[in-house]
Amino acid sequence: MDTTQLFGYIGALIVGLVLGLIGGGGSILTVPLLVYLLGYNPVIATAYSLFVVGATSMVGTYQKYKKGLVDFKTGLAFSFPSFIAVYLSRRYLVSGIPDTLLNIGNFTITGDMGIMIFFAIIMMLASYSMIKRKKDHDTLPKKQSYYKTFFQGIIIGTITGIIGAGGGFLYVPALVIWANIPMKKAVGTSLIIVTINSLMGFIGDVQTLEIEWVFLLSFTLISIIGIIIGVFLSKFISGKGLKKSFGVFTLIMAIYIIYRETS
């Protein structure tokens, strides 16, 4: 094992730790790690990210379920339109992105560059949601109509499919604001959606990409170990302070990605 691979596996452990500590943000680390450190192209990296985040979120779902913090009915209501959108976006949209998207004078925006810049923009939005002070919603009015949930699930599913993210940072506020469920239960419920969406999106990739299963499974196993450690450590670490710090880190990473892709 060379130094680059070693750092890659250390990164996998950190991905799991982050998921265990703050309940999201795994893909924010996974995609840049696979692209810039391990040298995978963005399409492969986003596919692998879906598998890693989906598998680790499955472990998180079980842990939240034991604590009674999972609303299966609401989670599945969001999952149905979302996983359809994720699957179709990975199967047809991402695989059909052309090598060259746009030429502006002597500057060319490639398909891979477009994916990474779009990913960086979503990272900026995620960093804002983590940095800003949020209000807890413990008692809320009646839930919205299902057709609205279906439409929202399609939109978020398409975005997460393109960037190869589980979408926890999008689903948690959606469940609180749109589905009107308490914050703590929203975090647990989002893990169901993240698990189903990520793994369904990856199934769409399996049909179009060559997968290095030995690497992917070993990377995922280390990430799962990380999430177990992270959940344990979360009992002793302030989640709010950690989330805000990670939000700042995410913003810096997004700026770095844009700089790296456009320089």
Check residue 140 and give its pLDDT. 46
Quote the CA–CA distance of 177 and 84 in Å, as a whole number: 22
State which residues of the chain have pLDDT below 50. 137-141
pLDDT in tens, 141-187: 456 666 777 888 888 888 878 877 667 767 777 787 777 787 778 87
Check residue 133 and give its pLDDT. 59
pLDDT in tens, 99-116: 888 888 788 888 888 888
Long-range contacts of 127-130 (CB under 8 A, 24+ apart): 127/247, 127/248, 127/250, 127/251, 127/254, 128/247, 128/251, 129/169, 129/173, 129/247, 130/22, 130/25, 130/169, 130/243, 130/244, 130/246, 130/247, 130/250
Check residue 135 and give its pLDDT. 56
For 199-226, letters b (16+ CB in 10 Å) and e give: bbbbbbbeeebeeeeebbeebbbbbbbb
Bridge partners (DSSP) listed for residue 107: 104
